[in-house]
Amino acid sequence: MRLQKHSIPNFEMRSVLLLALLTLGSATAVRAQATPGASIPANRATPQDLEAAFQRADLNRDGKLTRQEAERFPAVAQRFEQIDSNRDSFISLEEFSRAANS
């Protein structure tokens, strides 16, 4: 009887590493939640860092982010309506900065 070697197509070492990192990250998050007195570190981005990130995402250089441009930042895209405080369907640099610092 001959044993056959089973493999998963397109399963690379990077996938294994990604899975390991996700597992480690999840375990760390659970531990942080269980640790009394643990808090989320404050955003350490400077106003210049935020402006540079905003400018990189503002592909048409009109000074505001559309929903499509905001997709470059998944956390921003998920909270687009919440961040767009004046409800004009765009995110300004001011709204972007306010959301990053809250």
Higher-confidence position of 94 and 18: 94
The SS3 of residue 53 is: helix
Mean pLDDT of the chain: 77
The SS3 of residue 67 is: helix
pLDDT in tens, 3-45: 555 555 554 555 655 665 666 665 555 555 555 555 545 557 8
Residue 88: which pLDDT band, with cuts at 50, 70 and 90?
very high
**For the chain, what are the domain ranges?**
47-100
User: Which residue has 């990053």 as its token pair?
Assistant: 100
Higher-confidence position of 61 and 21: 61
CATH 1.10.8.80 fits 47-100, yes or no: no
Distance, in Å, from the CA atom of 47 to the CA atom of 68, rounded to the nearest integer, reads: 23
